[in-house]
Chains A and B, each alone.
Chain A
Amino acid sequence: MIEKFKEWYINRHTYAKQWKDRTGGKVIGTFCTYVPEEILAAANMLPVRILGSHEPQDVTEPHVFGMFCPFCRDALAQGLKGRFNYLDGVVLAHSCIHFRQTFNSWRIHLPVEFSYYIPMPNTVQTPHARPYHTVEVEKFKKAIEEYIGHPITEQDLDRGIETLNRNRRLLRKAYEYRKLDNLPLTGEEAMYMAVTSQFIDKEEHSQVLEAVLKELPERKLPRDAGIRLMAVGSENDDAEFFKMVESVGSTVVIDEQCAGSRYFWNESVPNGDRLATIANRYLDRPPCPVKDYPTHSRFQHVLNLAKDYRAQGAIIMQEKFCDPHEGDNPRLKKFLEENGIPTLSLEFDSTNPLGPFRIRVEAFLETIRGEELF
């Protein structure tokens, strides 16, 4: 069953179109992982995260200046090339200025029926973010209600919350298997699993996850796990990179990235107020550096993951020009190394030089293996 995730990863647009034909539902493009998908699920919509394709492109230069991150340009390119032409709406939750450009250029040049901007707090650590964001989530709910022409009931919200939570729980369970000595899945496979949860119908995704969880106890990798690595940093859904890393004597056992664990790590915790429950979940999740103020709360979480999953080293993946991560990485690198986790920093583009990266990864693995060299 685990192959299903890769199939979805490759055929994501076909899936979305078929979902739309099958259900008659609305498909909403989500910009960044801070969009409260519970509301969309409650409205029986399909949230589809806008991601890039890791192919060279030449269509975004007139819209986004080349000093902004390749991810934001690659993602916009997908829209401009018509690959998301099935979208009924787009939603952005305030995050970095780079990706906000993708959203805005999309709104200008690729008009859709529904477009909404959520001014999600960027200083999630302040207690005032909670009541404020609850009101914004409520406004978003009202906008969706207006769009679909009927109210979202409390039962709908409960269903939305549970649909998302169930999927998060199952992903966490699957990730638990990555703590084992005898790993039942690769980092590449885990990436397909996590990324696809961001654009596949959650119920359907959860059903496959449940089936996979039954298979995992008996599953074994056809190779030695090698060095256990952590992937940490900017948005990364480049499966080819993980495949390369895992072909040279290592396995990615955990990640701290928005295409992976950061997306699903925490659940909404019901507190009697459904909208506050949803709002708080996004404030409490492992933060993107753009929201991690005034302290670097994220660093300890990264270290905890590294320890829990017994990572022997961490690859810090830096999307070129990604200011929020660039503003964290030197201190994060130092923090990890001071705590016994060696690091390798790599700068990512939408297409990556796997040859040179392979040499650097091999050298990194040799460094970790140390005494085994001679």
Chain B
Amino acid sequence: MAIPTKYPTEPLKCWPKAKEIRQQYYKDYATAHDRGGVRWSGGAWAFDAVPMGLGDDVHVMTGEPYAASIAFDRKFAQECQDATDARGWARDLCSYMRIYWGSMYLNRFFFGGEFPKPDFYYQTQICCSHAKWDQEASLYEKVPFYCIDVCVGPYETLTEERLNYVVKQLHDSIEGMEKTTGRKYDDEKLIAAVHNECRSTSLWAEICTLNKAIPAPLDEKTMFSLYVLATLQRSSKKIADFYEELRDEVKNRVARGIAAVPYERCRIITDTQPPWGFLKIYRYMEQFGVVSVGSLYTFGLEGIFADQEDGSWGPRKTPEQLGIKIKNRDEALRITADWNLSRPQWQHFYDPQIKTRMMLRMVNEWKLNGVILHLNRGCEGLTVGSSENRLGLIKAGVPVMTYEGNMADEKEFDERRTTSRIESFMETLGLEQIEAARAAQAAS
């Protein structure tokens, strides 16, 4: 059998920087109080630009990436979940939430020391688990909880009243944060944070768009370590700047034909969070010449997309790019509300057909050969409607494989069963293992 084309590969130059930013983020959060700073916790979907108006020494720890970090350490993840189960919480609840609560109940911080208690919790209400997560955490830690309801329907149906509903809640939350921290809110800092938020999420969408190239300059397993920065604090200048650097490097990789996977001959996307403790399934697929170029999850959880002039899907233009000057608090809040409500990964909460349409768009524009859906028992929010997505994709003629698992609870993931399903899917796609790829992985 002929050996498929081998593309040149090389490591990402900014990889160490991504790692450093992430490490510094958790360190800053843990030590914020030592420096007189403010700590808040909440979700990766919280309006994280808003608390930035409280000062430059305000640090956040978003719960999902924190729990995902723990999930990689299967032993500690289990201890956390056991601690949560022991308090009577149902085992089928969001596994990130169960891990975060467990770490809090055990008073053990994954990155060392005691669990750092936040000064307040700040969250959006779109997923049934998200708001319960911070409601319980705030009661346990005895700190305030600000919850912004964003259940205003899909972005394509957004009206002035629906936007106003969100904006008014954001105004209220600022008053609450001022009372909680005793600090005077600085609108200029909010405006800067909103610009950075738009910049980083638009840049991430641009980076994902660059993955339309053949060979793909990035593979999804690598993207997991890059998109995560936006989930940590997308409104941070440091992160927006990093994405600019990353965008330039990825652009350069595309220009030079640098691949993420050397024997790329089949392109797929996946869906929802992966089973974090078992990312090797992506490496296994590479032995067949398969590259996962992303997913609606890696793209649209934080990337903000919009229709481009040529009709394709790409980065939404930022207020700065549109020449919009944000003059005051209300304008800043309106922009961040509108921006976040257009998040691709929020749309499917209302109707799976919207997600199917987005996935079909990815299939066509990213030139895909198939889709793998993770029926993720750990996350009701991102698995909602997945079965209808499967039917919709099949109806459109797209090969689809599903596997059951859990992003953070290894008890609900069967590795052997999943690899067997992958093998069958590869066979369906007419792919056989590439000996050179297998040997190269075995040697690495």
Contact = CB atoms under 8 A, between A and B. Distances in A.
Interface of A: 61-65, 67-68, 94, 96-98, 100-101, 104-105, 108, 117, 119-123, 126, 128-129, 131-132, 135-136, 289-290, 293-294, 296, 318, 320-321, 323-324, 326-331, 333
Given A97-B349, A132-B164, A330-B88, A64 B387 contact: yes
B360 to A, nearest CB: 15
Interface string B156-185: 000001101100110010000000000000
A330 B381 CA distance: 22
B363 interface: no
Contacts of B380: 67-68, 97-98, 321, 323
B93 A326 contact: yes
Given A97-B381, A119-B152, A119-B153, 6 more contacts: A62-B387, A104-B385, A117-B153, A135-B161, A327-B135, A330-B87
Contacts of A104: 351-353, 385, 388
Contacts of B168: 128
Contacts of B132: 289, 323-324, 327-328
B269 interface: no
A10 B148 CA distance: 42
A128 B89 contact: no
Nearest to A125: B147
B353 to A, nearest CB: 7
Contact of B149 (A293, A321, A328, A331): A293
B370 to A, nearest CB: 19
Contacts of A122: 125, 131, 149, 151
Of B132, B146, B153, B381, most A-chain CB atoms within 10 Å = B132
Contact of A123 (B133, B147, B377): B147
B92 interface: yes
Contacts, number: 129
A305 B45 CA distance: 37
B90 A318 contact: yes
Contacts of A128: 164-165, 168-169, 172
B58 to A, nearest CB: 20
Contact of B165 (A65, A68, A97, A129): A129
B139 interface: yes
B22 to A, nearest CB: 29
A313 B419 CA distance: 50
A323 B386 contact: no
Interface of B: 87-90, 92-94, 125, 127-129, 131-133, 135-136, 138-139, 145-149, 151-153, 161-162, 164-165, 168-169, 172, 349-353, 375, 377, 380-381, 383-388, 390-391
Given A119-B151, A293-B149, A296-B135, A329 B128 contact: no
B93 A327 contact: yes
A97 B133 CA distance: 16
Contacts of B128: 96-98, 290, 323-324, 327
Contacts of A135: 161
Given A104-B351, A123-B169, A65 B164 contact: no
B135 A67 contact: no
A368 to B, nearest CB: 20
Given A101-B384, A132-B161, A65 B375 contact: yes
A100 B125 CA distance: 15
7 contacts: A94-B151, A132-B164, A323-B380, A326-B92, A327-B136, A330-B87, A333-B88
A343 B308 CA distance: 58
A320 B375 CA distance: 18
A256 to B, nearest CB: 18
Contacts of A132: 161-162, 164-165
B356 to A, nearest CB: 10
Nearest to B164: A132
A355 B92 CA distance: 25
A121 B151 contact: yes
A65 B151 contact: no
Contacts of B391: 62-63
Contacts of A123: 125, 131, 147-149, 169
A132 B165 CA distance: 6
Which 9 A-B residue pairs are closest in the complex by CB-CB distance? Answer: A327-B132, A123-B149, A330-B88, A132-B165, A119-B153, A326-B90, A323-B128, A128-B168, A122-B151
Contacts of B152: 119
A128 B139 CA distance: 24
B129 A323 contact: yes
Contact of B387 (A63, A100, A296): A63
Contacts of B89: 326, 330
A207 B437 CA distance: 76
A321 B92 contact: yes
A290 B391 CA distance: 28
A129 B169 CA distance: 9
Given A121-B151, A121-B165, A129-B165, A294 B145 contact: yes
B147 A331 contact: no
Given A67-B92, A121-B149, A132-B161, A97 B375 contact: no
Nearest to A327: B132
Contacts of B352: 101, 104, 108
A289 B132 CA distance: 9
Contacts of A320: 92
Q: Max chain A CB contacts within 10 Å: which of B94, B135, B377, B390?
A: B135
